[in-house]
Amino acid sequence: MKNCIVAQSGGPTAVINASVVGVVEENNRSSHYDNVYGGLNGIEGILNENIINLSKLQEEELNGLKYTPSSGLGSCRYKLKDYKIDDSEYKKLIEILKKHSIKTFFYIGGNDSMDTVDKLSEYAEIHSIDIQFIGIPKTIDNDLVGTDHTPGFGSAAKYVATTVLECYCDTNVYSFNGVFIMEIMGREAGWLAASAALGRIKGKSAADFIYLPEVPFSTEKFLEDVGNRLKVKNSVFVAVSEGIRDANGRFIAQMETGSHDKFGHVQLGGVCGNLKQLLIDNKITSKVKTLELGITQRAAMHNASKQDIDEAYRVGSDAVSYSTEGCSGVMVGITRESNKPYKMGTSLVKACEVANHIKSFPREWITPEGNNITMEGVEYITPLIMGAPDIETENGLPKYYIVNRDGIVK
Amino acid sequence: MKNCIVAQSGGPTAVINASVVGVVEENNRSSHYDNVYGGLNGIEGILNENIINLSKLQEEELNGLKYTPSSGLGSCRYKLKDYKIDDSEYKKLIEILKKHSIKTFFYIGGNDSMDTVDKLSEYAEIHSIDIQFIGIPKTIDNDLVGTDHTPGFGSAAKYVATTVLECYCDTNVYSFNGVFIMEIMGREAGWLAASAALGRIKGKSAADFIYLPEVPFSTEKFLEDVGNRLKVKNSVFVAVSEGIRDANGRFIAQMETGSHDKFGHVQLGGVCGNLKQLLIDNKITSKVKTLELGITQRAAMHNASKQDIDEAYRVGSDAVSYSTEGCSGVMVGITRESNKPYKMGTSLVKACEVANHIKSFPREWITPEGNNITMEGVEYITPLIMGAPDIETENGLPKYYIVNRDGIVK
């Protein structure tokens, strides 16, 4: 008996289940493993032996799961301790994996998960344990190194750009509309906020200004940008990353705007709220609307990119193929073979090179003024948002597949 | 020369432009009017003679406009004074309409716009002015009387229900997820928040609780609802209308949670923020996520309902047909001829019967406990969200058509 297990970790994306289905279906084709198990709630659940058998899923169920957003197997934010300090969880995990005859552990996640893959593979090697640990990338933030881009980003970028276009139409209707501020996810890197630039009206970015964490945020420049634009336009559209920071590295989201709760604690207004307050306090305009996209941007399968789904599936299925060669402590990265026409492939990268690193949005793709994105940046992202999935519907809504988490393998 | 004019008023919807296109294309077919003019920014713009000629739009432009969200001609929130007190604007408006040989004025809007239609038609009748005023309904709120439902509601309901399903998947991923609160538009009536109940998982409402303005909101009951549910589920999903009020009619959005700004003014947390604070202050859980859907729910053409677009078009085209019979001071209402299979028609209703009234969500479609929606309510809304529009795309995104507002008719 030779099995493998796949689990999901960290924040969800719209397409993270497509990677699970890629693993299962590739194994259905190759029969390399007797069973593909699914670990519930990532490594946290596996440590509690919450394991189900995904090889029992029917074709229809797999197809449903492929087009269902968010982590169908559940997720966790669990970081293993350094095994040199405390290896009790490593021992427990290996014991559970051995009990279930698991030869390969596929972990779908971001850079914290790649840290887990790295530590576990290192531990296994040192102790001559014949279990492989392979990472499969995902994050809407697109900030992983070792891969051209990450599955999950394309769909989130498409949702952001679509919403920019639709909000542009909505924020232009009155004779004076003031300022609209859209807050986009991305605490460390500005890739997703940059994708706002894909929303274009007559060839120009619908967003007047896009602010990313890669450029230190100056409140003076912001007030000047918006104030000047309001002199020539009756509406100003601002897209902003939640991760913008001032020159001292302090998050704008945590800037004190002077509000206190009933215990006297400073109230944090968030990026949108704080920028709104800045515009009002400095008398730029009192007409400011805000929108925090929130979790919709990572969950909107109904508007996902087909290219992204295909690539999420591909890194899952290729992970199974690569695993037959015996590799461990690696992540399946995406390579961009050409841009026009767009062509991608995959390759292996060491998990330790991915773990705990951040890939920033390139400064040369930000305009010299630091407040919008160049066409090179737009052209890099565009191929990743192409195509629409053919999602089954029921009563006018997408029919999503909820994994039965009860069938625990004993 | 005999022309007509169409204008848009109030808050935008995803399908309000389809009504404009319905007017223009019906007239292209019937040639009842020599030209269909468009008033920019509603009555406010017409008073400034901001008028363009929509009959010059090509088929391709009309098709683009039909599938573009939000008020393509611009909008306003302008209420005419009572002509018995001051008729100066009436005189000015009639003068402008006469100058452009306008025989019929079509006004697309909600109950304020129907008030305008009513006042203008009354004024015209008293002064023997041969101009007809006809209302075309729109509002995502679905709170107009005299019509089974309003164009704009179906698409907004579809967006809300889709987002409920996707957020349900996202808020279920960890071993403990706490409470998720989604705030939905609808200041006066709960129709749109009720449509959250269309998001169903295995036949049950994905939202554990749905609170509407039609039921006085009790903070005690809310804390009890959520607290009890958290004892049996690791995540609780709350959908709430922005318009919920306590037994004294006070908006929960305006409840004081104890925050003050730097001048000592009370800070309003909004519905989401205030309910979150309640859960934390009462130690139900500190893990609370919120999402205010904001303008996306009325602008998301990419996820619009085909049925809704068709009906928005239909009330526009039928308005032209009805106008040939000489009616004035009326609105084109939608009639529901049957539910299974769904079949609709239109009829005329007096604008004065629509103006300044609100149609509430029926109490009998709210569960006895007052915290969710019955299947009757779900079945009423479902036919309105069916079908998807075939929107032209460009670089992976919807291709929206922006009306050129420069070609002012002299």
Question: Is residue A254 very low, low, confident or very high in pLDDT (cuts 50, 70, 90)?
Answer: confident
Q: Which residues of A269-296 are buried (b: 16+ CB within 10 A; e: fewer)?
A: bbbbbbbbbbbeeeebbeebbbbbbbbb
Overall average pLDDT of the A79-103 stretch: 96
Q: Pick the catalytic residue: B87, B115, B118, B141?
A: B141
Which residues contact residue B370 at a Cβ distance below 8 angstroms, ignoring those fewer than 6 apart?
B211, B215, B221
- The interface residues of chain B toward chain A in range 37-56, judged by CB-CB distance below 8 A, are 41, 44-45
Of the partner residues A71, A163, A305, the one whose CB lies closest to the CB of residue B396: A305
Closest alpha carbon within chain B to A378: B395
Mean pLDDT score, A201-217: 97
Nearest CA in chain B to A273: B269
- pLDDT at residue A405, rounded to an integer: 84
pLDDT band at B19 (very low <50, low <70, confident <90, very high): very high
Please compute the mean of the pLDDT values over residues B108-136 and round it to a whole number. 97
Contact B169 A69 (CB under 8 A): yes
Measured over the CA atoms of residue A62, residue A63, residue A64 and residue A67, the dihedral's sign is positive
Q: Which chain A residues have a beta carbon less than 8 Å from that of B298?
A: 170
Mean pLDDT of B312-336: 98
Q: Cβ(B101)–Cβ(B1) under 8 Å?
A: yes
What whole-number percentage of chain A has pLDDT above 90? 92
Q: How much is the average pLDDT of B31-52?
A: 97
Q: Which of A141, A148, A208, A225 is catalytic?
A: A141
**pLDDT at position B264 over 70:** no
Beta strands in A185-230 (DSSP E): 200-201, 204-205, 209-211
Q: Which helix (H) or strand (E) holds A240?
A: strand A235-241
Q: Indicate yes or no: CB of B402 within 8 angstroms of CB of A171.
A: no
What is residue A250's predicted lDDT score, i.e. its pLDDT?
92
Mean pLDDT of chain B: 95
Contact B195, B383 (CB under 8 A): no
Q: What is the pLDDT of residue A292?
A: 95
Cβ-contact B163, A301 below 8 angstroms:
no
Q: What mean pLDDT, rounded, does chain A reach? A: 95
Chain A residues 194-223 with CB within 8 Å of chain B = 198-202
In this structure, chain A runs to a length of 410
Residue contacts between A and B (CB atoms, under 8 Å): 190
Give the model's confidence band at B409: pLDDT under 50 very low, under 70 low, under 90 confident, else very high.
confident
pLDDT at B259 over 70: no
Q: Is the pLDDT of residue B261 over 90?
A: no
> Cβ B173–A75 below 8 Å, yes or no?
yes
Identify whether the C-beta of residue B216 lies closer than 8 Å to the C-beta of residue B245. Answer: yes
Q: What percent of chain B has pLDDT over 70?
A: 97
Taking CA–CA distances from A45, the nearest residue in chain B reads B175
Q: Domains in chain A, ordered, with CATH? A: 3-152+300-356+388-398 (3.40.50.450), 153-298 (3.40.50.460)
Q: Per residue, what are the HEC states of chain B?
A: CCEEEEEECCCCCCCHHHHHHHHHHHHHHHCCCCEEEEECCHHHHHCCCCEEEHHHCCHHHHHHHHCCCCCCCCCCCCCCCCCCCCCHHHHHHHHHHHHCCEEEEEEEECHHHHHHHHHHHHHHHHCCCCCEEEEEECCCCCCCCCCCCCCCHHHHHHHHHHHHHHHHHHCCCCCCCEEEEEEECCCCCCHHHHHHHHCEECCEECCCEEECCCCCCCHHHHHHHHHHHHHHCCEEEEEEECCCECCCCCEHHHCEEEEECCCCCEEECHHHHHHHHHHHHCCCCCCEEEEECCCHHHHCHHHCCHHHHHHHHHHHHHHHHHHCCCCCCEEEEEEEEEECCEEEEEEEEEHHHHCCCCCCCCHHHECCCCCCECHHHHHHHHHHHCCCCCCCEECCEECCCCCCCCCECC
- Kindly state the percentage of chain B with pLDDT values over 90: 92
- Burial status of residue B175 (CB atoms within 10 A of its CB: 0-12, 13-18, 19 or more): middle
For B242, half-sphere exposure in the C-beta direction (CA atoms, 13 angstrom radius) is: 16
pLDDT band at A135 (very low <50, low <70, confident <90, very high): very high
Which tens digit of pLDDT belongs to each residue from B130-152? 999 999 999 999 999 999 999 99
- CB-CB neighbors (< 8 A) of A267 in chain B: 259, 267
With an 8 Å Cβ cutoff, are A166 and B289 in contact? no
pLDDT, position A74: 97
- The answer to whether A390 is a known catalytic residue is no
Q: Using CA atoms, how far apart are residues B11 and B138, in angstroms rounded to an integer?
A: 9
- Residue B198 is predicted with a pLDDT of 98
Count of CB atoms situated within 10 Å of the CB of A219: 14
Is A266's pLDDT higher than 90?
no
- Identify the closest residue of chain B to A16 by CA–CA distance: B170
Reported as a single tens digit per residue, the pLDDT across A365-391 is 999 999 999 999 999 999 999 999 999
pLDDT tens-digit readout, A139-169: 999 999 999 999 999 999 999 999 999 999 9
**Quick one: average pLDDT of B300-315?**
98
A292 contact B CB<8A: yes
- Judged by DSSP in three states, A313 sits in helix
* Rounded Cα–Cα distance for residues B38 and B25 (Å): 13
Contact A174 B385 (CB under 8 A): no
End-to-end CA distance of chain A: 15
Phi, psi of B130 (to 5 degrees): -85, 60
Closest Cβ opposite residue B397 in set A41, A198, A295: A198
Whether residue A260 has pLDDT greater than 70: no
Mean pLDDT of A16-24: 98
* Site from A44, A165, A204 to mutate, B interface, most B CB atoms within 10 angstroms: A165
Contact A294 B298 (CB under 8 A): no
Q: Nearest by CB to B260, which of A45, A260, A294?
A: A260
Give residues 130 to 159 of B whose Cβ lies within 8 Å of A.
158
Q: Tell me whether 0.90 is exceeded by the ipTM.
A: yes
Report the relative pairing of strands B132-137 and B330-339 from DSSP bridges. parallel
Would you call A75 and B174 a contact, using CB atoms and an 8 Å cutoff? yes
User: Would the pLDDT of A267 be above 60?
Assistant: no
A27-65 residue pLDDT tens: 999 999 999 999 999 999 999 999 999 999 999 999 999
